[in-house]
């Protein structure tokens, strides 16, 4: 069920990285940057590290805010990835997997030297 994931809490490091990305891209909403980060991470065939990311920041994104009107699509993407990683489809695993992919994707965006403004972010979508 889509309502299984209520909130997404991210580590302080991810909050700091998102703050830098906000400055570079001029995108003010965490959720939009997190959507980019999730897509970037899910595009990778390999799995993100299995360690549970810390929850030591004040970023707590509500699922509906994160997904907007595309909740069913994001939920299906997370469920599909759970299947690929051999995880049971339950709230704890879905939330854990989502956080792992968000943290990895935020790290990927932060590490890109060509991401200096919103055009750099758009360029990420066209990389192969």
pLDDT at 16: 93
Which regions in the chain score pLDDT beneath 70? 1-3, 52-57, 128
Distance CA 57, CA 113 (A): 25
Query: Is 45 among the domain residues?
Result: yes
Query: Is 58 among the domain residues?
Result: yes
Domain that holds residue 109: 12-121
CATH number at residue 116: 1.10.1220.160
Query: Is 95 among the domain residues?
Result: yes
Distance CA 76, CA 71 (A): 8
Query: Is 1 among the domain residues?
Result: no
Query: Is 115 among the domain residues?
Result: yes
Query: Is 127 among the domain residues?
Result: no
Who's near 38: CB < 8 A, 6+ residues apart? 74, 77, 98, 101, 102, 105
pLDDT at 1: 45
Query: Is 6 among the domain residues?
Result: no
Query: Is 60 among the domain residues?
Result: yes
Domain count, the chain: 1
């Amino acid at each position: 069920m889509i309502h299984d994931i209520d909130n997404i809490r991210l580590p302080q490091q991810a909050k700091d990285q998102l703050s830098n990305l906000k400055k570079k891209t001029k995108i003010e909403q965490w959720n939009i940057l997190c959507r980019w980060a999730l897509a970037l991470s899910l595009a990778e065939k390999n799995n993100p590290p299995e360690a549970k990311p810390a929850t030591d920041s004040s970023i707590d994104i509500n699922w509906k805010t994160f997904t907007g009107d595309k909740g069913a699509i994001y939920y299906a993407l997370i469920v599909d990835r759970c299947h690929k990683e051999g995880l049971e489809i339950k709230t704890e695993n879905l939330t854990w997997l989502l956080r792992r992919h968000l943290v990895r994707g935020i790290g990927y965006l932060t590490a890109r030297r060509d991401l200096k403004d919103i055009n750099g972010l758009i360029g990420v979508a066209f990389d192969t």
